[in-house]
């Protein structure tokens, strides 16, 4: 029985990998960059010598990236799938580099669909599919439009899938973190907000709040904000992102 975590060379995915390695599981860690992947595998093996750590390299921005990763993972009996890999870009929607925009759709949405479609039907009772969305899923995100829209897709898809699979013994849930202290912000062209949560805390909260159909929000402020009218949050996001992006190129 193995745990597959996409995008687990750093950040939230790496935090999930550490938690499952503690349990002595076979953990299939994954990333795009071979050197980062080898480094993450070596660190996990050093920290958890009794866990079985298997690195799998695949660029999920490739057209059939998710399907290829699922095929390789077929060498193990997957009991947990965490669709965690995600990328985001900021700026006016029509000005984002079209290649980056296409990669985002492929990584955040298409690869999740491909992995789930292939691996979920093979899972036994007790299996888990955890899709990583964001609190950005709960309102439109001017100046980060496609990223927020991709996360709205993740939440909607996960809830629908959980309903379809109700009673079959597999838990299907999504995690919607607020800001996390990871490299994600830097890569998206933003700086990490002060109130960002440690990824270890978000991962551990998620695993202790798993139930079928759950939309898990790890930080208390975001739990409350979920119910603030979308129009108000949309205006706030626009102002905040504009301020963060002032003077930056995208």
Grouping H, G, I as helix, E, B as strand and the rest as coil, residue 9 is coil
What is the tally of helices (H) and strands (E) in the chain? 10, 7
Residue 204: Cβ-neighbour burial (10 angstroms; 0-12, 13-18, 19+): middle
CB of 87 to ligand NAP, least distance (A): 5
Take residue 92 and report the two structure tokens written for it: 């006016």
d(CA 86, CA 107): 6
Residues 209, 211: Cα–Cα separation, whole Å: 6
Q: Which is nearer to ligand NAP, 31 or 127 (CB)?
A: 31
Q: In the complex, what is the shortest distance from the CB of residue 172 to ligand NAP, in angstroms, rounded to a whole number?
A: 17
| Min separation Cβ 1 and ligand NAP, Å | 23
Say how far apart CA 98 and CA 107 lie, in whole Å: 14
Q: Which is nearer to ligand NAP, 89 or 184 (CB)?
A: 184
> Is 105 or 168 the residue whose CB approaches ligand NAP more closely?
105
Supply the minimum distance, in Å, between the C-beta of residue 168 and ligand NAP: 26
Contact residues for ligand NAP, defined by CB under 6 A: 7-13, 31-33, 36, 59-61, 84-88, 107, 132, 134, 177, 179-180, 182-184, 187, 199
Nearer to ligand NAP among residue 45 and residue 100 (C-beta)? 100
């Amino acid at each position: 029985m193995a745990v597959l975590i996409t995008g687990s060379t750093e950040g939230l995915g790496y935090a999930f990998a550490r938690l499952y390695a503690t349990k002595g599981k076979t953990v299939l860690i994954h990333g795009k960059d071979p050197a980062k992947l080898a480094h993450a595998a070596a660190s996990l093996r050093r920290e958890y010598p009794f866990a079985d750590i298997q690195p799998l390299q695949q660029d999920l921005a490739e057209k059939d990236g998710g399907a290829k990763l699922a095929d390789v993972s077929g060498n193990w009996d997957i009991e947990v799938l965490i669709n965690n890999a995600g990328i985001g870009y900021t700026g006016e929607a029509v000005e984002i580099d079209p290649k980056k925009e296409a990669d985002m759709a492929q990584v955040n949405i298409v690869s999740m669909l491909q992995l789930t479609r292939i691996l979920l039907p093979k899972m036994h009772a007790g299996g888990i599919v955890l899709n990583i969305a964001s609190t950005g899923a709960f309102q439109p995100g001017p100046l980060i439009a496609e990223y927020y829209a991709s996360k709205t897709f993740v939440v909607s898809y996960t809830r629908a899938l959980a309903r379809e699979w109700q009673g079959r013994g597999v838990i299907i849930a999504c995690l919607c973190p607020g800001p996390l202290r990871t490299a994600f912000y830097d890569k998206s062209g933003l700086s990490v907000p002060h109130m960002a949560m440690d990824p270890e805390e978000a991962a551990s909260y998620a695993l202790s709040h798993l139930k079928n159909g759950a939309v898990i929000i790890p930080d208390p402020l975001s739990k409350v904000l979920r119910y603030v009218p979308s129009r108000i949050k949309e205006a706030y996001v626009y102002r905040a992102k504009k301020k963060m992006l002032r003077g930056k190129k995208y």
